[in-house]
Structure formats: structure tokens, C-alpha cells
Chains A and B, each alone.
Chain A
């Protein structure tokens, strides 16, 4: 497909793990990013992974990259109510430094 695809909604209970999935378009993309957007705010960079890595862990966040399937995931451990937001993945195709964003996944954390 030509679009970066994400599921629209995810609902989890506080304390559970959340897994947000993304399918990107260009297997040669150099970097892949995860951003968080809270209501009325801009995008906050959470983490990013270089294309030669399979996994990156940063505190409660784990990013998994499957280049063969062009699949990226973000796992949030011990999800808190403050994690409720929209999460965007983005790819940066080779030869360009522009970002192509997905449509975003709205995460709702239930207390």
C-alpha cells in the first residue's frame, strides 16, 4: 500500500501492556519514529529506531522492527492513565528527510 497504516483505536486497563502496531511503506526507510500527541498539543518524540536494528528498549517503551514485513510496533509496559493519547508512527524514506506519518492510534487507558 501507499499509506502508513495504523489501527485507529486501542483500549487497555491501567497496569496492562499496550501494543500499538504500524505497517509502513518503504522497506528501505532509514529511520522509523514513534510520536505521542495529547489533546491540543503538538507531537512529542517518544523514540526512534534505525533500520539496522530489530529492537530498541527505553524504560517502559519497547520498539520492535520487522523489515521483511515492514512492520513496526510500540509496546508500553505498565500503561498509565497519562499514556492516553494518539500515537503516530512515521517513516523517513531514503534519499529524503521528510517524514510520512500514519493516521495515528488513539490509546485509551481505563482506570
Chain B
């Protein structure tokens, strides 16, 4: 079974630029999550989708972050404009449904200069 795929693996941008990350969950998984993991910390949930609907985006900084999962499969997370404090690893996870264990991708490491 193919795992959660994320791209790119690494991204370096300057502050105030825009960036987008892509996630392809495990086939058939209805629930998709985006996490932010700052160096030395555990992951923190940004947004949770159930199919193409948002379940929880209470921790998403909506003034600069946006995410979509239009067809209920792939998802993109965008930051516009980026700030220095957005430097982190952005992890995507999926699960068959929201009450089942989450499986993580390898993440995108974002560095803001």
C-alpha cells in the first residue's frame, strides 16, 4: 500500500513570498490532516478535512494560511505571505475515517529567509 505522498520535500523562500504544498493521501482515506511541526516540538494540527469538507480549522492562521481538498482526495496548503516564524516541517496525514489511526507523510521542510 502506497503511503501518504507529499511534495516538495524542501522549500526555501524569502519572507513575504508565497508557497504551496501538496499532499496525496493513502487511497480510500476519507480524513486528511495538515500539521505544522516547529523544530524541537511535536506536530500541531492546522486543519482537518473529512472528504472535501473542513472539520476543524480552529488553529489555522487564516489571514495567511489556506487549504483546500476540492475533490476529496489531494490537498494543497498555501501560505501567503510567509513570515519568518512559518519555518517548520509541514506534515500531511490521512486516516480511513476520523476515528482511526493517522498515517503521516515525510513532510515538507520550509525555510524562510
Residues on A close to B: CB < 8 A? 4, 31, 33, 35, 40-45, 48, 88, 90, 96-99, 101-104
Asked if residues B106 and A99 are in contact (CB atoms below 8 Å), the reply is: no
B80 at interface (Cβ–Cβ under 8 A)?
no
* A to B CB contacts below 8 Å, 26 in the list: A4-B42, A33-B101, A35-B104, A40-B106, A40-B109, A41-B106, A41-B107, A42-B91, A45-B101, A45-B102, A45-B103, A48-B101, A97-B48, A97-B98, A97-B99, A98-B56, A99-B43, A99-B45, A99-B102, A101-B42, A101-B43, A102-B42, A103-B40, A103-B41, A103-B42, A104-B41
Q: In the complex, A104→B42 CA distance in Å?
A: 6
Residues on B close to A: CB < 8 A? 4, 6, 31, 33, 40-45, 48, 55-56, 91, 93, 98-99, 101-107, 109
CB distance from B55 to the nearest CB of A (A): 8
Asked if residues B42 and A88 are in contact (CB atoms below 8 Å), the reply is: yes
B residues in contact with A98, CB < 8 Å: 33, 45, 48, 56
A residues in contact with B93, CB < 8 Å: 42-43
Q: In the complex, A60→B6 CA distance in Å?
A: 30
